[in-house]
Amino acid sequence: MSTGAWKTCGVTTGGAAYCWGFNNSGELGNGTTTSSTTPVAVSGGLTFGSVSSGGFYTCGVTTGGAAYCWGLNRSGQLGNGTMTSSATPVAVSSPLTFASMSAGAVSFEGTAHTCGLTPGGAAYCWGNNGSGELGNGTTTSSTTPVAVSGGLTLASVSAGFGHTCGVTTGRVPFCWGSNGAGQLGDGTTTSSTTPVAVSIGLTFASVSAGIFHSCGVTTGGAAYCWGNNEHGEIGNGTTIPRTTPTAVTGGLTFASVSAGGSETCGVTTGGAAYCWGSNGVGQLGNGTTTSSTTPVAVSGGLTFASVSAGVHTCGVTTGGATYCWGWNNYGQLGNGTMTSSSTPVPVSSP
């Protein structure tokens, strides 16, 4: 399950991809530009292992390792050598096979970037590169995958707005790209066109790049965030930005975290979902629209396997049921309505 700008996508246990919500650029992948308040099948009959819902576009990796993207393509974020948008999946132009992909957020100009990891842990990125978010030592955009500099072997990669983060197989976090709010976590606000190590002497299991902030979970389950903190998205009880990782308040043990725009959500090792930061449309899921600078429990007592944070947030329970909450102006909650909800609502069956 993955949330993007005004839409959501997910993969069934059988490998079928479904999307719902806004579809002006074909980001639902069903061959139309008609929005949908319930899940619609992505065209092409592909069997996906995972999908990543970015800003007005979506990417996925098939079970055979082939990469496909669909939707907005103003800066080459679909990776097929063009800047032509597509309402159905198009193959990423690369002889490589991928283990995972991450679709980034779109700027106001419609630019975005995408990154992927090969089975061997090599990172490649494509699309917009105005801040060095492709990580290849330049600020030249690319409509096809380019290798991230540094020869790092990554276990995971996460594409944000103008920056990217990843964790090596040795559990060291690195980030690259835009750094005006300190989202690279290296103690500066200087952008970098190549990966820089996050300033912390801890080992990380995963990282998540948001719009202007980043978060990660250590191998011991502690959550840390850094970068912009205007709405409390760092989760340390303040609204002061941080250029180095700062512990999330509460002493919770997390399995994963997801950095959104001005909000963050995570799932504890026991399956409880918590969110913090901006809550103007109920995206924290606690039944209010009051923002919080520390984690608050998502209502409903559900046991989650994963969550994906944004202006709307979605999660998958350990039983495979999908729930969403927050903003719903285009049907991105998937429950057949366009009514926002400050508590989780079940996604309608396709």
Q: Is the pLDDT of residue 73 over 80?
A: yes
Helical spans, DSSP H, in 188-330: none
What pLDDT does 44 receive? Answer: 97
What pLDDT does 123 receive? Answer: 98
Tokens coding 220: 């011991």
Q: Are strands 273-277 and 263-268 parallel, antiparallel or unpaired?
A: antiparallel
> Which residues, 6 or more positions from 301, have their beta carbon under 8 angstroms from its beta carbon?
none
* Positive/negative CA dihedral, 302, 260, 333, 31: negative
pTM of the prediction? 0.97
What pLDDT does 110 receive? Answer: 85
Q: Is the pLDDT of residue 78 over 80?
A: yes
What pLDDT does 58 receive? Answer: 98
What is the domain count for the chain? 1
The span from the CA of 189 to the CA of 195, in Å, is 14
The CA-CA-CA angle for residues 244, 247, 251, to 5°, reads 175
**DSSP secondary structure letter of residue 78:** T
The CA-CA-CA angle for residues 90, 335, 301, to 5°, reads 110
Tokens coding 245: 């990782």
Helical spans, DSSP H, in 200-340: none
pLDDT digits (tens, 9 = 90+) for 123-150: 999 999 999 999 999 999 999 999 999 9
The span from the CA of 77 to the CA of 82, in Å, is 9
pLDDT digits (tens, 9 = 90+) for 178-203: 999 999 999 999 999 999 999 989 99
What count of Cα atoms within 13 Å lies in the side-chain half-sphere of residue 88?
5
Percentage of the chain lying above the pLDDT 90 cut:
97
Question: What does the DSSP assignment read for 257-288?
Answer: EEE-SSEEEEEETTS-EEEEE--TTSTT-SSS
Band of pLDDT at residue 296, cut at 50, 70 and 90: very high
Strand order in the sheet with 67-71: 48-53, 57-62, 67-71, 86-91
Q: Assess contact for 117 and 90: CB atoms under 8 A.
A: no
- Measured in whole angstroms, the distance separating CA 103 from the mean position of its chain's CA atoms is 7
**DSSP secondary structure letter of residue 26:** S
| Proportion of the chain in helix, strand, coil states, percent, rounded to 5 | 0, 45, 55
Q: Which domain holds residue 74?
A: 2-346
Helical spans, DSSP H, in the chain: none
> The domain spanning residue 20 has which CATH number?
2.130.10.30
Band of pLDDT at residue 109, cut at 50, 70 and 90: confident
The span from the CA of 19 to the CA of 38, in Å, is 8
Amino acid at 206: S
What pLDDT does 108 receive? Answer: 78
What pLDDT does 350 receive? Answer: 77
